[in-house]
Amino acid sequence: MDGLLRAALGALDGAAGCTQIPNPAGLDRGTRTYRAGGWKIKTMPAPALRLHHEACVYQARERQGLHRGTRHGHLDDGHPDAGRWLAVPWVPGPTLWEAFAPARNAHGSSAARGGLLDAALAAAAELRRWHRDAWLHGDVQPANIVVAGRAAMFIDLEYARHPRLRLPYPYRGGIAETTAPEVARQLVDSQQHAAELHPEAEVYALGAAIRWAWTGHPPAGRRDPGDAGPGRLLHAIAHGPPRALREDRPYPFPELEDLIEQALHPDPHRRALP
Ligand SMILES: Nc1ncnc2c1ncn2[C@@H]1O[C@H](COP(=O)(O)OP(=O)(O)O)[C@@H](O)[C@H]1O
Ligand SMILES: [Mg+2]
């Protein structure tokens, strides 16, 4: 067993029946994620900068009364498994991606629409709260939003930041598929391949996440299986026309389409969330 996982399990009460959550698309991002009883545990070998920052984000949000129950620890330097672990309470409920699966899988079905709109509205309300409290998430995507009843929660806070908790490494964007055009332009056109993030870009990212989860297609299309990295997709987002929602939607759904179109407005200042 991963020595970091063993350390986490030893420190946590009620961490039974541990299962690993595979990284999406088999991507090796250096971290491993597990569910153990009431906990979600993430481990990362040394120097574990991203996991250290994520732990700092959770701690800062706890101090602000925005989160509860974070635990974290590390192994001593020099140990072969040296690194860090972070545990947060498991939130019961589907991710946004899972919540919209019926729409993607059963074409033409309009069943359970109210539930989909509620999930989208809950995610929008949560993003508005993040921005009201001066937080930016940095990786808004369908797998990083858990829908718990009428509430939604953002997880995976490795790129989150606040005026009093800066990101300690250059920001190269979150997942490419939900990247806003103005962020994509910075990433593909700048020498540093780093970008500034603003709330309006996250409003776009949420619109893109909901569009992707509902239709199966993010605004500029999916990555070609042969693409080595996100470069081509970022180019398409930065400089190409977006796909028409009408052509991708599984069925007409005016309320949800309005929400998506308003969030994806090409002019950042004209984007809005309900
Ligand atoms: N607190 C949580 N409650 C419920 N599910 C979670 C929680 N944290 C993570 N998950 C599930 O685990 C997956 C991976 O966790 P995440 O923090 O996004 O790690 P990664 O860095 O591998 O993307 C999520 O997409 C979600 O399905
Ligand atoms: Mg994630």
pTM of the predicted protein model: 0.94
Please report the atom of ligand 1 found closest to the CA of residue 88: 1
Nearest CA residue ID for atom 17, ligand 1: 156
Quick check: CB of 59 below 6 Å from ligand 1?
A: no
Whole-number Å distance between alpha carbons of 257 and 255: 6
Encode pLDDT of 110-119 as tens digits: 667 889 999 9
Range in 44-58, 103-117, 131-145, 245-259 the model is least confident about: 103-117
Per-residue confidence (pLDDT) for residue 24, from 0 to 100: 67
Rounded Cα distance, 137 and 197, in Å: 9
Dist CA 251 CA 248 (whole Å): 9
Give the integer Cα–Cα distance in Å for 86 and 12.
11
Residue 90 Cβ < 6 Å to ligand 1: yes
Shortest-distance Cα residue to atom 22 of ligand 1:
23
Confidence check: pLDDT of 95 > 70: yes
Question: Rounded to an integer, what is the distance from CA 111 to the centroid of its chain?
Answer: 26
User: Buried b / exposed e across 208-228, counting CB within 10 Å, b at 16+?
Assistant: bbbbbbbbebbbbbebeeeee
Domains of the chain as residue ranges with CATH: 3-89 (3.30.200.20), 96-270 (1.10.510.10)
| Most confident among 21-25, 103-107, 262-266 (mean pLDDT) | 262-266
- pLDDT of amino acid 111: 61
Q: What is the pLDDT of residue 59?
A: 98
Distance in Å, CA 129 to ligand 2 centroid? 20
For residue 233, pLDDT beyond 60: yes
Mutational pocket test of ligand 1: of 156, 157, 177, 212, the residue with most ligand atoms within 8 Å of the beta carbon: 156
Ligand nearest to the CA of 34: 1
Count of C-beta atoms within a 10 Å radius of residue 147: 25
Task: Name the average pLDDT for the chain.
Answer: 92
Ligand with minimal distance to 139 CA? 2
pLDDT for position 256: 97
Predicted pLDDT of residue 14: 73
What single letter denotes the amino acid at residue 181?
P
The reply to whether ligand 1 has any atom less than 6 angstroms from the CB of 70 is no
pLDDT, tens digit, 9 for 90 and up, residues 47-91: 899 999 999 999 999 999 999 999 999 876 566 667 999 999 999
DSSP 44-87: EETT-HHHHHHHHHHHHHHHTTS----EEEEPPTTSTT-EEEEE
State whether the beta carbon of 155 lies less than 6 angstroms from ligand 1.
yes
Cβ neighbour number for residue 139 with a 10 Å cutoff: 21
Residue 21 Cβ inside 6 Å of ligand 1? The answer reads yes
CA of 213 to the centre of ligand 1 (A): 16
Q: Is 4 in the pocket of ligand 1 (CB under 6 A)?
A: no
Measured CA distances, 133 to 55, 82, 93, 150 (Å) = 18, 34, 24, 20
From 150, 107, 108, select the one nearest 125 (Cα to Cα): 150
pLDDT at 229: 84
Q: Is 144's C-beta closer than 6 angstroms to any atom of ligand 1?
A: yes
Q: What is the per-residue pLDDT for 157?
A: 98
| Ligand 2: centre distance to CA 53 (Å) | 15
User: Atom 19 of ligand 1 has which residue's CA nearest to it?
Assistant: 156
